[in-house]
Amino acid sequence: MEAGKQLRIEETPIPGFLRIDLTVHADNRGWFKENWQREKMMALGLPNLGPVQNNISFNDEVGVTRGIHAEPWDKYISVATGRVFGAWVDLREGPSFGAVYSCEIDPSVAVYVPKGVGNAYQTLEPNTAYTYLVNAHWSPEVSYTFLNLADETVAIDWPIPLDQAIQSDKDKGHPRLADVKPFAVACAPAKKVLVTGANGQLGRELMRQLPEAGFAADGVDLPDFDISNAEQMAGVDWAGYEVIINAAAWTNVDGAETAEGRPAAWKANAGGPANLARAASAQGITLVHISSEYTFDGTKNPHTEAEPPSPLGVYGQSKAGGDAAIVSTPKHYLVRTSWVVGDGKNFVRTMAGLAEKGISPSVVSDQVGRLTFTTDLAAGIIHLLSTGAEYGTYNLSNEGPETSWQQVAARVFELTGHDPSQVSPISTEEYFAGKQVAARPLNSTMDLTKIEATGFVPATADQRLREYLQEYLR
């Protein structure tokens, strides 16, 4: 074992397979190492593993040989004590199928093994503890891809010849490379997702898109599933879920200002997310939570993810309370959005209905922002999950120039074949004069730089508006 090495990560001939040199501090008492350090290693290029299980294989003798097994999850492998010879073969379909890499693993070395890469090792010292982190729970229903340890094509140079090694009969019976069916990403079990608020505009779109993206989804909603009921949430069997997407919320902005609405909003928008955050933290589940631009007072333009909350009313305050609970969860995506339009009652449908009836509305012209169509909101959430983007807060709306509600309404009139000048501008103050309503942020425009840096660029709001109205008018 080489003590004192600098932490570093190097690529190998197998795409995505990484070797990690670990820093080991040793003296006359023994040694110490940071075996896995998420922040430092991700900064050097290690993917966001998100481990959910830690396994240890203890081996009494020299020459214990196990493999070659390709599993449908990623692994981070090291040894706690002892030394092994590790060998890996790319069994994924594609041009790198059959690529081989091998090295010795002692306490100063670790490796990152992407799913579908065959893994094997042979102990070089007695009393070796081989340990690995995985990012999916083991299940007896999971199928593996196997390769024979003695395959002549990959020709692994085992330090201890296999006829002298300790092997299982099962491993001896694995096929040669020519008979191996390549591991396909589709062979991996679908990640199980629980969608709360599944009957809402976003929930319905998530339930449509998740299966198309390879996720298995369960949708729940009131009255059967109440996230604000702590007792009910404590009784849920969370073991089968890897992801929770919380699309449930109290969205009656003005109703939240009433004596009855205030506690109801806080219960749903803060208490409910707190219950989900506790469950996600305890079970190692990734939690996606939908937030709102109402957590801001609308004085910044645009709003960034780093902006501190400054809500004007009870609805925004309750959403900010829920956000605070969510960010305490290690594996979370807080997705802040605005002006949502999807399958259900919304502003665009209301304006289209008024246009059809020949009604000329007055619409506020001093509140600006961007529409967010659930098509892109759901797709952006799935993108974060599928790519393993860094956990944290992301703004997500449609792209394009900011517009006022009055401009949106006029555009709806125009696209539905009506005179846009029928939509009259009015200030927020004038519109709500004499009414007991919640204060609204005047600016809802959000900075999309962070999510676009992950590779997801939403369509423009105007493009989606045209498509939405074409569907609506069928």
Instruction: Give catalytic residues, as residue numbers.
Output: 69, 132
Query: How many other C-beta atoms are found inside a 10 Å radius of the C-beta of residue 113?
Result: 24
> What is the CA angle 55-6-103, rounded to 5?
50
On whether the CB atoms of residues 280 and 332 are closer than 8 A, the answer is yes
Taking the C-alpha atoms of residue 442 and residue 428, their distance in angstroms, rounded to an integer, is 9
> What is the CA angle 10-13-19, rounded to 5?
30
CA distances 85 to 121, 141, 148, Å, are 5, 29, 16
DSSP β-ladder status, 84-90 and 117-123? antiparallel
Query: Dihedral of CA 71/57/388/198: which sign?
Result: positive
The residues facing 134 across adjacent strands are 53, 75
Smallest CA-to-CA distance from 54 within 120, 125, 131 is with 131
Residue 462: phi and psi, rounded to 5, are -70, -40
Taking the C-alpha atoms of residue 79 and residue 35, their distance in angstroms, rounded to an integer, is 9
On whether the CB atoms of residues 325 and 279 are closer than 8 A, the answer is no
Taking the C-alpha atoms of residue 126 and residue 62, their distance in angstroms, rounded to an integer, is 5
What is the residue whose two structure tokens read 């600006």?
A: 368
Residue 471: phi and psi, rounded to 5, are -70, -40
On whether the CB atoms of residues 91 and 183 are closer than 8 A, the answer is yes
DSSP alpha helix (H) spans, 284-369: 314-326, 347-357
Taking the C-alpha atoms of residue 188 and residue 40, their distance in angstroms, rounded to an integer, is 29
DSSP β-ladder status, 109-113 and 18-21? antiparallel
On whether the CB atoms of residues 379 and 385 are closer than 8 A, the answer is no
Amino acid at 108: S
For 183, which DSSP code?
B
Amino acid at 456: F
The secondary structure element, H or E, covering residue 220 is strand 216-220
